[in-house]
Amino acid sequence: MNELLKISNLSVEYHRNGRKLRAVAGVDLTLAPGEILGLVGESGCGKSSLGKAIVGIEKPAEGEIRFNGNLVKPLDRRGRPTELRNLQMIFQDPYGSINPRRKIGDQIADGLIVAGKPKNEALKISAELLEKVGLGASALDRYAHQFSGGQRQRIAIARALAASPTAIVADEPISALDTSSQAQVSNLLVSLVQEFGMGVIFISHDLSVVRKISDRIAVMYLGKIVEIGTTEQIWNQPSHPYTRALISAIPKADGNSNMPLDLPGDVPNPAFPPAGCRFHPRCPLVQVGCESSVPEIRTLKDGRGVACVLQTSNEIVVPLETIKGR
């Protein structure tokens, strides 16, 4: 079995004001060792809820997550079962995820001490981990405020590495950082994957970074995956109208003064998702029937999965120019 993570029919629900909100509405995903899977979508599409459910922070309403074949159960007060310790998460905001009043070294050592290592050995490993993420052992005795955003994100990565993870869910790990720190942190993740063969789910709204570092990309819209395939397929030949809209909305720094394409409307409130295909109210290629029938994800000839009635074969039924001509 070559699957590190297997997510089947996963749903996450929240209850607000007596209403049920389905943030994740039936997602299937797999992650192989050494693979970076990019998960993209607009805010409110459920990508963070999915990420949290995968590591057991959110309780799934339906479906299951298996990590190395073991069922991921939501965290409880007893802490994390040993077989799940190698599944770790990195959060978006390195200002909020690190305790400002404790030494960096102690925070990284926590996980190791819980895992049964004596304190001096835990601190020694922490120093090695800080070295690994490019900060040096001198960071051990310092505090969060003494570091920049990019450095704090490296600390967060070092802390996740303390559990010798084989799978990491990184939720917008570079969104809060400056351009040059973004490149440095994403390069660090890539080299860690290459060195240790971890699998990474990289959640981001920035498709241009995702396509650079990912092997596969999953595009999410309103709780569902609408397209999933290799980076090559998604970036160069996007099939789903939403994927195409996302890519054409990225402004290009080519100096040609081209306005990026606009996708009118906002992501609908997930408490009241549209019937049929959830993208149909914003879809430039909407057909009769899209408002009533729910498109299932289907595998095309080239191996990618697409949930759209227009995709019946590997040929892209409607050329990209039709969208551009709007």
DSSP annotation string for 90-127? E-S-TTTSS-TTS-HHHHHHHHHHHTT--HHHHHHHHH
Of the two residues 28 and 42, which places its CB atom closer to another protein in the complex? 42
Site for another protein contains 138 (CB under 8 A): no
Show contacts with another protein in window 186-215 (CB under 8 A).
Answer: 186-187, 190-191, 205-209, 211-213
Number of CB atoms found within 10 A of residue 272's CB: 9
Stretch that binds another protein, among 18-26, 125-133, 247-255, 289-297 (CB under 8 A): 247-255
Of the two residues 153 and 182, which places its CB atom closer to another protein in the complex? 182
Q: How far is the CB of 204 from another protein (least distance, A)?
A: 11
Site for another protein contains 184 (CB under 8 A): yes
Site for another protein contains 146 (CB under 8 A): no
Q: How far is the CB of 148 from another protein (least distance, A)?
A: 7
Q: How many angstroms separate the CA atoms of 18 and 13, rounded?
A: 12
Stretch that binds another protein, among 55-63, 132-140, 256-264, 302-310 (CB under 8 A): 256-264
Site for another protein contains 262 (CB under 8 A): yes
Site for another protein contains 93 (CB under 8 A): no
Q: Judged by CB under 8 A, how many residues of this single chain contact another protein?
A: 43
Of the two residues 186 and 239, which places its CB atom closer to another protein in the complex? 186
Site for another protein contains 252 (CB under 8 A): yes
Which residues contact residue 230 at a Cβ distance below 8 angstroms, ignoring those fewer than 6 apart? 215, 216, 217, 303, 304
Q: Is 180 helix (H, G, I), strand (E, B) or coil?
A: helix
Q: Is 150 helix (H, G, I), strand (E, B) or coil?
A: helix
Q: How far is the CB of 154 from another protein (least distance, A)?
A: 12
Q: How many angstroms separate the CA atoms of 249 and 60, rounded?
A: 32
Q: Which of 2, 120, 258, 313 binds another protein (CB under 8 A)?
A: 258
Q: Are 12 and 46 in contact (CB under 8 A)?
A: yes
Q: How many angstroms separate the CA atoms of 238 and 254, rounded?
A: 21
For another protein, what does the binding mask look like between residues 41 and 60, x meaning CB under 8 A? -xx-----------------
Q: Are 196 and 160 in contact (CB under 8 A)?
A: no
**Phi and psi torsions of 252, nearest 5°:** -95, 135
Q: Is 41 helix (H, G, I), strand (E, B) or coil?
A: coil
Site for another protein contains 266 (CB under 8 A): yes
Q: How far is the CB of 256 from another protein (least distance, A)?
A: 7
Q: How many angstroms separate the CA atoms of 23 and 21, rounded?
A: 6
Question: Which residues are at the interface with another protein (CB under 8 A)?
Answer: 36, 42-43, 148, 150, 178-180, 182-184, 186-187, 190-191, 205-209, 211-213, 245-246, 249-264, 266-267
